[in-house]
């Protein structure tokens, strides 16, 4: 998302200083153990694409609850909503892509078990950018004259201080206590690489959060990240990352292009099975990518 992306540089290790200090690898359970009830949690990916499902599974196995979840929602939101872990959701949509409306999220909304702050995609993006840049808000035209202002009465407008005098929506920063994202490759220092067609907002989730945990299909040496891919694929910067979790197949059943497509059969099973029945199997299975 940034205009300029630089390749990661290996930091020299001073004499007497262990290289372990820059090794951020940990298990999914260790990452989740650093979260707490009541946090504002950002979850990367988009709909049913490159969701950090290994981390979501670990979160579901924990007792953490009362969360404010910020997400371009997919099964991450559906599962956490069905399990009663979400107090408030901030999202532009919740979908399984090939199944337009996420059924477990829909059921939770119909039961009234969570609060919803629904904003459009541009507002969502600008809110993350404001938080990433440590700004209280950013001005945006999107939303003016639409029902998004009516259903979000807390939104404010600002007037340009320049001669144009234009009115904008003042989109508040979506500041996060923690973020969970999934990428194709990462090194031990926290540089994260996407190899698919879309970065989504994963870099902004990490930049907007006080702590960010990145799962990946494979942990590689830093130099390997740019051997067969352009530096622009280095989406997530190590200074924004707290922990790295190696989780092969860690986005399943969502897609993680080009490593694998969405598992449509598994997604249909999830969508058509009562949550308690699905959760019994899902949480009892071996953790995605081996041990958590």
Exposure pattern of 207-221 as b/e (b: 16+ CB <10 Å)? bbbebbbbbbbbbbe
Cis peptide before 47 (omega within 30 of 0): no
| pLDDT at residue 9 in the model | 44
Q: Which runs of E-coded beta strand occur in the chain?
A: 40-43, 67-71, 86-91, 115-118, 137-140, 156-159, 167-172, 176-186, 192-193, 209-219, 243-246
DSSP state of 13: P
| pLDDT at residue 69 in the model | 98
Taking Cα atoms as reference points, which of 201, 163, 156, 160 lies closest to residue 183? 201
Q: How far is CA 57 from CA 49, 97, 150, 153, 182, in A?
A: 16, 20, 36, 35, 13
Q: Are 264 and 231 in contact (CB under 8 A)?
A: no
Taking Cα atoms as reference points, which of 168, 186, 200 lies closest to residue 49? 200
Q: Are 37 and 65 in contact (CB under 8 A)?
A: yes
| pLDDT at residue 21 in the model | 54
Q: How far is CA 140 from CA 97, 117, 161, 176, 196, in A?
A: 27, 18, 15, 21, 29
Take residue 138 and report the two structure tokens written for it.
């950013």
Helices and strands (H and E) in the chain: how many: 9, 11
Distance in angstroms (rounded) separating the CA atoms of residues 136 and 243: 27
pLDDT tens, residue order, the chain (292 aa): 333 334 444 444 444 444 555 899 999 999 999 999 999 999 999 999 999 999 999 999 999 999 999 999 999 999 999 999 999 999 999 999 999 999 999 999 999 999 999 999 999 999 999 999 999 999 999 999 999 999 999 999 999 999 999 999 999 999 999 999 999 999 999 999 999 999 999 999 999 999 999 999 999 999 999 999 999 999 999 999 999 999 999 999 999 999 999 999 999 999 999 999 999 988 886 554 433 3
| pLDDT at residue 162 in the model | 97
Taking Cα atoms as reference points, which of 258, 266, 269, 264 lies closest to residue 288? 266
């Amino acid at each position: 998302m940034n205009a300029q992306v630089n390749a990661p540089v290996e930091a020299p290790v001073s004499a007497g200083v262990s290289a372990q200090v820059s090794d951020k690898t940990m298990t999914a359970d260790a990452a989740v153990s650093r979260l707490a009830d009541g946090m504002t949690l950002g979850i990367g990916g988009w709909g049913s694409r490159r969701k950090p499902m290994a981390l979501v599974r670990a979160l579901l196995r924990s007792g953490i609850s009362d969360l404010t979840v910020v997400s371009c929602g997919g099964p991450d939101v559906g599962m956490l909503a069905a399990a009663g872990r979400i107090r408030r959701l901030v999202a532009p949509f919740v979908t399984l892509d090939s199944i337009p409306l996420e059924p477990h999220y829909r059921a939770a909304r119909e039961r009234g078990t969570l609060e919803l702050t629904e904003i459009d995609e541009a507002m969502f993006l600008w809110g993350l950018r404001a938080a990433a840049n440590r700004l209280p808000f950013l001005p945006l035209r999107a939303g003016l004259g639409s029902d998004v202002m009516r259903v979000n009465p807390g939104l404010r407008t600002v007037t340009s201080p320049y001669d144009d005098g234009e009115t904008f929506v003042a989109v508040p920063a979506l500041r996060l206590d923690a973020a969970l994202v999934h990428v194709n490759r990462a090194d031990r220092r926290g540089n994260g690489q996407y190899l698919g067609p879309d970065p989504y907002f994963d870099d902004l989730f990490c930049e907007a959060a006080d702590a960010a945990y990145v799962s990946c299909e494979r942990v590689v040496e830093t130099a390997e990240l740019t051997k067969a891919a352009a530096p622009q694929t280095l989406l997530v910067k190590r200074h924004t990352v707290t922990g790295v979790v190696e989780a092969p197949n860690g986005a399943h059943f969502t897609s993680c292009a080009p490593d694998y497509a969405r598992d449509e059969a598994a997604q249909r099973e999830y969508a058509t099975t009562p949550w308690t029945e699905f959760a019994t199997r899902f949480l009892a299975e071996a953790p995605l990518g081996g041990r958590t």
